Amino acid sequence: MTKKIGMIPGTGKQSQGIALRLAQAGYKVMIGSRSSEKAKTIVEELNTKLSVSSFYGDENKEVVKQCDILFFVVPPEYICSTLEDLGSDIKTDAIIVDVIVPLTFEAGLAYCSEDMCLDQFDYPSVSEYIQATVPEGVSVVGGFKTISAAKLNRLNHPLDVDVFLTSNSQEAKNDIKGIISKIEGLRVLDAGPLAFSRTTEQMTAFVININKLNKLKHASFRVISAAPKKQK
């Protein structure tokens, strides 16, 4: 059975970028929003942009009920309330791809915030907070945190970046790798368990500052290495 992919929400800059890249790779994507009208407007825009009929949409709640793979792309300050609203409707074997980066800005520089959901946020990373909060059986995979919306939405430019996946479930990580490795120019790297999500969140603050301080555009991560070891 083909797994259904949905975006919570699919209306923001980052989620539209990921949704467009997934559709270019041949997937159908369900666009969520707090408002079904807004979801439908964005669906029309995205279908028109790629001349496809790959996008469909509804309220976030409906997306959560129908989809097996859920990209969580809400602003960090709303992840706690979003999980309160939607948590109990998430399918018990769903995979959540957490794209959220809890940034704050001080004197023009980006930092990873320690207290995104104020008193509720006692976890080292957003991914670990989500994993601890969702129903048993649901797996969280951190991903796409280090790739900017600007880069994802430049559809006529190859991505040419690495995406770092973190999860405590190797099976969930492999499932997501299988899906997103079809996106052109995206190399998928295993970045270990969810404990390393904080690292990828910090890397996002780092690359934003690198862009700003060095007047660069679209700086991003590509790990360099020697050729892979041969299997014995």
Give contact residues for ligand NAP (rule: CB under 6 A): 9, 11-15, 33-34, 38, 73-76, 78, 82, 99-101, 145, 148-149, 204
125 vs 204 by CB, closer to ligand NAP: 204
Instruction: Give the count of beta carbons closer than 10 Å to the beta carbon of residue 203.
Output: 17
187 vs 225 by CB, closer to ligand NAP: 187
Residue number of the CB closest to ligand NAP reads 12
Shortest Cβ distance from residue 230 to ligand NAP (Å)?
A: 35
Shortest Cβ distance from residue 193 to ligand NAP (Å)?
A: 20
Confirm if 180 and 205 have CB atoms less than 8 A apart: no
Confirm if 146 and 204 have CB atoms less than 8 A apart: yes
Instruction: Give the count of beta carbons closer than 10 Å to the beta carbon of residue 94.
Output: 22
Q: Is 8 helix (H, G, I), strand (E, B) or coil?
A: strand
Confirm if 31 and 49 have CB atoms less than 8 A apart: no
Question: Which parts of the chain fold into alpha helices (H)?
Answer: 13-24, 36-50, 60-66, 79-86, 126-133, 149-153, 170-180, 197-213
Shortest Cβ distance from residue 142 to ligand NAP (Å)?
A: 11
40 vs 51 by CB, closer to ligand NAP: 40
136 vs 150 by CB, closer to ligand NAP: 150
Shortest Cβ distance from residue 208 to ligand NAP (Å)?
A: 9
> Per-residue DSSP letters for 44-111?
HHHHHHHTS--EEEEEHHHHHHH-SEEEE---GGGHHHHHHHHGGGS-TT-EEEE----EEEETTEEE
10 vs 179 by CB, closer to ligand NAP: 10
Shortest Cβ distance from residue 101 to ligand NAP (Å)?
A: 4
222 vs 229 by CB, closer to ligand NAP: 222
Shortest Cβ distance from residue 52 to ligand NAP (Å)?
A: 21
Question: What is the rounded distance in angstroms from the CA atom of residue 138 to the CA atom of residue 47?
Answer: 30
Question: C-alpha distances in angstroms, 9 versus 27, 46, 144, 231?
Answer: 17, 14, 15, 41
**Identity of the amino acid at 105:** F
